[in-house]
Amino acid sequence: MSKKILVVDDEPNVRLNYRVTLETEGYAVLEADCAAKALEQFSGNQFDLAILDMRMPEMDGLDLLAEMRQRGLSTPAVIITAYGDIPHAVRAMKLGAIDFLKKPMTPESLRSVVENILVRHAPPPLMPRPIRDDFDTHIVTAKRLLNLQDFAGAKGHLVRALELNSNAEAINLAGVLFEMQEDYERAKKYYGHAIRLDQHYEPAQQNMRRIFELFNFGSSKEPFALGDD
pLDDT tens, residue by residue, 93-127? 888 888 888 888 889 999 999 998 998 888 766 55
Query: Is 96 in the same domain as 139?
Result: no
Query: Is 10 in the same domain as 109?
Result: yes
Which parts of the chain have pLDDT scores under 70?
83-87, 124-130, 216-229
pTM score, two decimals?
0.73
Beta bridge partners of 80: 53, 101
In the listed set 120, 144, 170, which residue is the last one of a domain according to the structure? 120
Please give the pLDDT value at position 104.
80
Please give the pLDDT value at position 7.
97
Q: What is the dihedral of CA 46, 50, 52, 58, to 10 degrees?
A: 10
Give the domain range for residue 202. 135-214
Please give the pLDDT value at position 221.
42
Domain count, the chain: 2
Please give the pLDDT value at position 226.
59
